[in-house]
DNA sequence: TAATTCGCTAGACCGA
DNA sequence: TCGGTCTAGCGAA
């Protein structure tokens, strides 16, 4: 057969079990459709370390593992290791358990890298980006990453509604009622309810079975590459699978025309399709939340749609869906609701897909995998890639025992300066850009660089006495440097073309992806389950960070500024009379001239006023402040206002007080604001939504030693039949009835308007939130509650 | 299946 | 009943 060259986008890599063994399969989007290729030349393998490799090789070749599993090939590899290959994955799994018990074998490495991930790493392929292959028929002869243009993925989202007759839907009994499907081609609703005949975008089929078949067909017709769901991992797709089983049909998904397995790993369930990338937007948002790309508390689709796009989406409850279906009234509304779910799911998917795809490319894992990864996994993929390229062995994961040893010995973190409480005017905030990464790069911090012993490297010693080589670029620091420089280039380009410029969105996604990875390195070094754990490195990073930040603070004082505060990578300076903005800029330049490598101090901005408060103990409170810049932009940090476990009434009152003081310099107005809130509370006029407190249950309800209000509220709700557990968001109100606060706490949904304990909200919510601020201006609690007292002398100098 | 440390504060809990 | 201590959650960086 003739050899052919193919170019396209790499959509997926998995493997199939064939008679000859496990065979890698690639899905490539090319010419508007997905092509499937196999690579029978690549075998599952791991590495083995032996004192006498020749002897060990002979022994391994003869050995039988499990029930008849054998190595297929043993060869010499990098670093005096042996490469042990197998015909299929299950033989490898048998062997990795037993091989270390062979007398000639010391250790095994990289035995837990999944086969298709191994392939992507070894071939250095970039999922969701370009790939070039030489093929004969469907057999891969050569493959490499390449630039490809003019090809793009088709995205779609779907959502199902199911019957739930007085209980949670059970896929064994309750049918799928309708399926909404939204793609670039428009919106569709598939159902078999005749009453919906002729409704907008609706296609009616004869039965549930035919509806499901039509859905599978639609995916193929539209050649969908990325299928977005909202919680499809745990609900929609397992449900469809179970329905198909009950109805006796086979789910067939484009492009492999195969069903799927539901992978249960620990607490998580994932549905991985073959070829088509299942992007569970719920999982993706959790992922993005971890990196601060989004900041969400409640993850139901309605809350998410509201936080991200501000659109109020209707929620139809399960009981109501049931009623609508059975009575046949309101079916169109239900159809619209179902479509709206898919629609918003697709919108979120499209918005963040560029970022996830850039990350996929960087860590060389599929979109499916990347969008469900943890920070540590991302870093691990990245490091494994680099290790492969440099011919280094990937360290094994620590045992549970090692892990707990590591956890027991923590290390010292960043420096936080106690602030000078009070109201301050004319401030400048300085901070180090990418502090931890820049320290790692500039001091070449990497585990194998520790105590190199070279004479010429002896100066490179951290304040906590860790010495790092300066001759050889470190493994971790080298990777970081690369990411850092690439990101700098991107940011430069972005600046040139402007935020609205062509391609700016992609460039921004790229630099954001790099930032996410860079920021995870330091954490990974100190993470107990890390393959590249190094307390020495992690503690050296923070030791240097403390030194640098304190250095800036000291020098600022010496230069005549008042250093008010600093936290980890920042310094807050008050600019005294006689000093100017220019002096600040000059100071920053001076500091930068003294910094090594890529370290850089930035002027974050000037602020006309700022306030720090005093703790109960009389010290200045760290990690709490409010600033206002010269354009009147307010920045509130650490205060109750930014905390979800405080009521809106307390938070809003606090924000209004801060605004009155910082923006208008008007503490009298602040007092009025507080009195107003108190008056409303006392009058019973404050609406329920202003009183709700949100707290997340961190453990099962029976595992609490101390029963706080949120636990008490949850317990009462469970008694009423509500399902709540670890991870549930408890929204509660403190009601009138009960002795302790916990007694009075009740889930918001059971509380009627007006039923709240006004004393609690006044003295435990509003007053505590504002008094710490007002106290700095000389006001007392009594001033806020009673009338009379006027502006204090000296509040504004 | 899980990136790190530092810090604040509430409300329960417990013993005097 | 009071006051100190502990549990728990969340935020900053």
CA of A639: nucleotide with nearest C1': C11
Backbone φ and ψ for A724, nearest 5 degrees, come out as -135, 145
With 0-12 / 13-18 / 19 or more C-beta atoms within 10 angstroms meaning exposed / middle / buried, residue A618 is: exposed
Distance C9 C1' – A625 CA (angstroms): 20
- pLDDT value, residue A791: 43
Alpha-carbon distance of A286 to A234, in angstroms, equals: 14
Closest listed residue to residue A70, CA positions, set A78, A82, A59: A59
* Nucleic strand C near CB of residue A768 (< 7 Å): no
Strand partners, A278: A227
**A488 sits within 7 Å of strand C by its CB:** no
Q: Is the CB of A523 under 7 A from strand B?
A: yes
**From the C1' of C7, which residue's alpha carbon is nearest?**
A706
Q: Which residue is nearest to nucleotide B4 (CA to C1')?
A: A523
| Residue with CA nearest C1' of nucleotide B13 | A706
- Protein chain A, residues 530-549, with a C-beta closer than 7 Å to any atom of nucleic acid strand B: 538, 542
Report if CB A58 to strand C is under 7 Å.
no
Kindly report which amino acid residue has its CA closest to the C1' atom of nucleotide C10.
Answer: A643
User: Which of strand B's nucleotides are less than 7 A from any protein C-beta?
Assistant: 1-13
Interatomic separation, CA of residue A707 and C1' of nucleotide C6, rounded (Å): 12
Handedness of CA A767, A768, A772, A773 (dihedral sign): negative
- Predicted confidence at residue A787, as pLDDT, reads 55
Residues lying close to strand C (Cβ under 7 A), chosen from 306-335 of chain A, are: none
Instruction: Find the Å distance, CA of residue A175 to C1' of nucleotide C9.
Output: 41
pTM: 0.94
DSSP calls for A691-711: T-EEEE--S-GGG-SS--HHH
Cis peptide before A255 (omega within 30 of 0): yes
Å from the A490 CA to the B8 C1': 39
- Across A372-389, average pLDDT: 96
Q: Mean pLDDT, to the nearest integer, of A707-730?
A: 94
| Dihedral of alpha carbons A473, A479, A485, A489, sign | positive
Contact between residue A204 and residue A191 where contact means Cβ atoms under 8 Å apart: yes
3-state helix, strand, coil in chain A (%, to 5): 40, 20, 35
Instruction: Please report, rounded to whole angstroms, the spatial distance between the CA atom of protein residue A620 and the C1' atom of nucleotide C2.
Output: 27
A567 touches strand C (CB under 7 A): yes
As a dihedral over the C-alpha atoms of residue A766, residue A772, residue A775, residue A779, rounded to 10 degrees, the angle is: 0
Protein CA at A87 to nucleotide C1' at C10, angstroms: 51
Q: Is the CB of A298 under 7 A from strand B?
A: no
Whether the CB of A433 is less than 7 Å away from nucleic strand C comes out as: no
Q: How far, in whole angstroms, is CA A497 from its chain's centroid?
A: 29
Is residue A786 over pLDDT 80? Answer: no
Look up the protein residue whose alpha carbon has the minimum distance to the C1' of C13: A568
Q: Tell me the β-bridge partners of A226.
A: A155, A277
Considering only residues A267 and A326, tell me which one the structure prediction assigns the higher pLDDT: A326
Kindly report the average pLDDT of chain A as a whole number: 94
How far, in Å, is the CA of A635 from the C1' of nucleotide C12? 13
R_g of chain A computed on alpha carbons: 31
Rounded average pLDDT over A298-310: 93
Q: Are A474 and A446 in contact (CB under 8 A)?
A: yes
Summarize the confidence of residues A124-153 as an average pLDDT: 97
CA A709, C1' B12: Å apart? Answer: 9
Residues 6 or more apart whose Cβ sits within 8 Å of residue A323: none
C chain positions with any atom within 7 Å of a protein CB = 6-13
- Whole-Å CA distances, A373 to A153, A284, A289, A290, A379: 22, 9, 12, 10, 10
CA–C1' span, A400 to B1, in Å?
A: 14
Q: Which nucleotide comes closest to A567 if you measure CA to C1'? A: C13
Q: Which nucleotide is nearest to A765 (CA to C1')?
A: B10
Spatial distance between the Cα atoms of A138 and A784, rounded to a whole number of angstroms? 78
Residues 6 or more apart whose CB falls under 8 angstroms from that of A610 comprise: A423, A424, A427, A564, A572, A625, A626, A627, A628, A662
β strands within A670-768, DSSP E: 693-696, 729-734, 745-747
> Does A704 contact strand C, using a CB cutoff of 7 Å?
yes
pLDDT at A350: 97
Residues A74-117 pLDDT 10s:
999 888 899 999 999 999 999 998 999 999 999 999 999 999 99
For residue A591, give the H/E element and its range. helix A581-594
Structure tokens at A298: 């409640």
The 8-class DSSP code of residue A274 comes to S
List, in sequence order, every residue forming a beta bridge with A270; answer none if it has no partner: A263
Measured CA to C1', the nucleotide nearest A530 is B3
Q: Which positions 597-626 on chain A have a beta carbon less than 7 angstroms from any atom of strand C?
A: 623
Q: How many other CB atoms are there within 10 angstroms of residue A478's CB atom?
A: 17
DSSP characters for A424-492? EEEEEEEEETTHHHHHHHHTT--GGGBT---GGGTT-B-TTS-BB-SSSPPHHHHHHHHHHHHHHHHHH
Helix spans in A310-374 (H): 318-327, 331-363, 367-370
Beta-bridged to residue A179, according to DSSP, are A160, A190
The residues pairing with A183 across neighbouring beta strands, listed in sequence order, are A156, A186
pLDDT band for A792, please (50, 70, 90 cuts).
very low
With CA of A623 and C1' of each nucleotide, the nearest comes out as C12
What totals of helices (H) and strands (E) does chain A contain, helices first? 24, 27
Nearest protein residue to nucleotide C9, judged by CA and C1' positions: A695
Yes or no: say if A709 and A745 are a contact pair by the CB < 8 Å rule: yes
Which nucleotide is at minimal CA–C1' distance from A376? B3
Q: How confident is the model at residue A301, as a pLDDT?
A: 95
**Tens digit of each residue's pLDDT (9 = 90 or more) over A245-280:** 999 999 999 999 999 999 987 668 999 999 999 999
A23-62 pLDDT, tens digit each: 999 999 999 999 999 999 999 999 999 989 999 999 999 9
The protein residue nearest C6 (Cα–C1') is: A706
Tokens 């070894």 identify what position?
A122
CA-to-CA separations, A750 to A203, A746, A759, in angstroms, rounded:
40, 7, 20
User: What is the CA A705 to C1' C5 distance in angstroms?
Assistant: 14
Measured CA to C1', the nucleotide nearest A569 is C13
* Residue A80, pLDDT score: 86
What's the average model confidence in pLDDT over A641-664? Answer: 97
Res A796 pLDDT > 50:
no
A416 CB inside 7 Å of strand B: yes
Confidence band of A499 (pLDDT split at 50, 70, 90) = confident
């Amino acid at each position: 057969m003739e050899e052919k060259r193919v170019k396209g986008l790499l959509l997926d890599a998995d493997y199939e079990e064939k008679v000859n063994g496990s065979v890698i399969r690639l899905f490539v989007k090319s010419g508007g459709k997905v092509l499937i290729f196999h690579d029978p030349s690549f075998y599952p393998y791991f590495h083995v370390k032996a004192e006498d490799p020749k002897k060990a090789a002979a022994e391994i070749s003869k050995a039988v593992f499990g029930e008849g599993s054998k190595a297929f090939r043993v060869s010499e590899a990098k670093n005096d290791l042996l490469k042990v290959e197998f015909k299929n994955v299950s033989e490898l799994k048998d062997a990795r358990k037993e091989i270390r018990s062979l007398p000639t074998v010391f250790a095994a490495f990289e035995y837990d890298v999944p086969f298709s991930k191994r392939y992507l790493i070894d071939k250095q392929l970039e999922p969701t980006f370009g790939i070039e292959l030489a093929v004969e028929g469907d057999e891969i002869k050569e493959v490499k990453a390449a630039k490809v243009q003019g090809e793009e993925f088709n995205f779609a989202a779907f959502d199902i509604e199911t019957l739930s007759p007085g209980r949670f839907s059970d896929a064994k009994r309750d049918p799928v009622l309708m399926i909404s499907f939204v793609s670039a081609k428009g919106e569709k609703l598939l159902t078999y309810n005749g009453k919906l005949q002729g409704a907008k975008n609706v296609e009616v089929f004869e039965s549930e079975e035919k509806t499901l078949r039509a859905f599978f067909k639609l995916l193929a017709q539209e050649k969908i590459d990325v299928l977005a769901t909202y919680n499809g991992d745990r609900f929609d797709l397992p449900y469809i699978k179970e329905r198909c089983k009950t109805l006796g049909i086979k789910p067939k998904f484009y492009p492999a025309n195969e069903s799927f397995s539901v992978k249960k790993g620990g607490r998580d369930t994932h549905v991985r399709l073959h070829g088509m990338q299942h992007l569970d937007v719920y999982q993706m948002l959790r992922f993005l939340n971890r990196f601060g790309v989004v900041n969400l508390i409640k993850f139901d689709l309605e809350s998410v749609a509201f936080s991200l796009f501000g659109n109020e989406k209707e929620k139809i409850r399960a009981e109501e869906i049931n009623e609508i279906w059975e009575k046949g009234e309101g079916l169109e509304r239900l159809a619209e609701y179902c479509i709206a779910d898919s629609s918003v799911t697709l919108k979120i998917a499209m918005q963040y897909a560029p970022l996830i795809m850039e990350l996929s490319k960087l860590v060389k894992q599929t979109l499916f995998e990347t969008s469900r990864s943890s920070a540590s996994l991302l870093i691990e993929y990245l490091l494994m890639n680099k290790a492969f390229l440099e011919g280094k062995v990937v360290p094994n994961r620590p045992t549970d025992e090692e892990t707990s040893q590591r956890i027991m010995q923590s290390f010292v973190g960043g420096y936080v300066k106690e602030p000078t409480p009070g109201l301050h005017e004319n401030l400048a905030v300085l901070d180090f850009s990418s502090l931890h990464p820049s320290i790692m790069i500039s001091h070449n911090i990497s585990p194998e660089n520790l105590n190199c012993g070279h004479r010429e490297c002896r100066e490179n010693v951290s304040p906590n006495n860790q010495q790092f080589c300066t001759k050889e670029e470190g493994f971790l620091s080298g990777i970081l440097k690369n990411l850092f420089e690439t990101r700098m280039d991107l940011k430069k380009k972005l600046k040139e073309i402007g935020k609205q410029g062509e391609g700016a969105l992609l460039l921004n996604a790229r630099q954001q992806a790099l930032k996410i990875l860079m920021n995870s390195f330091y954490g990974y070094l100190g993470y107990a389950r890390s393959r590249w754990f190094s307390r020495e490195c992690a503690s050296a990073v923070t030791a240097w960070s403390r030194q640098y930040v304190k250095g800036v603070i000291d020098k600022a004082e010496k230069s005549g500024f008042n250093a008010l505060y600093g936290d980890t990578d920042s310094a807050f300076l008050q600019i005294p009379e006689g000093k100017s903005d220019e002096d600040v800029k000059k100071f920053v330049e001076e500091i930068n001239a003294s910094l090594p490598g890529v370290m850089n101090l930035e002027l974050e901005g000037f602020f006309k006023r700022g306030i720090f408060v005093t703790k109960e103990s009389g010290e200045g409170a760290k990690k709490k402040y409010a600033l206002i810049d010269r354009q009147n932009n307010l920045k509130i940090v650490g205060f109750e206002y930014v905390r979800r476990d405080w009521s809106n009434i307390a938070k809003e009152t606090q924000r209004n007080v801060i605004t009155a003081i910082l923006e208008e310099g008007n503490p009298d107005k602040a007092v009025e604001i507080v009195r107003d809130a108190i008056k409303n509370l006392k009058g019973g006029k404050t609406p329920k939504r202003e009183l709700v407190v949100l707290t997340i249950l961190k453990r099962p309800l029976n595992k609490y030693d101390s029963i706080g209000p949120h636990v008490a509220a949850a317990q009462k709700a469970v008694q009423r039949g509500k399902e709540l557990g670890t991870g549930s968001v408890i929204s509660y109100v403190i009601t009138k009835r009960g002795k302790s606060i916990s007694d009075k706490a009740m889930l918001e949904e059971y509380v009627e308007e007006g039923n709240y304990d006004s004393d609690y909200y006044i003295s435990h919510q509003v007053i505590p939130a504002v008094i710490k601020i007002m106290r700095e201006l000389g006001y007392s609690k009594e001033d806020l509650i009673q009338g009379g007292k006027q502006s204090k002398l000296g509040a504004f100098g």
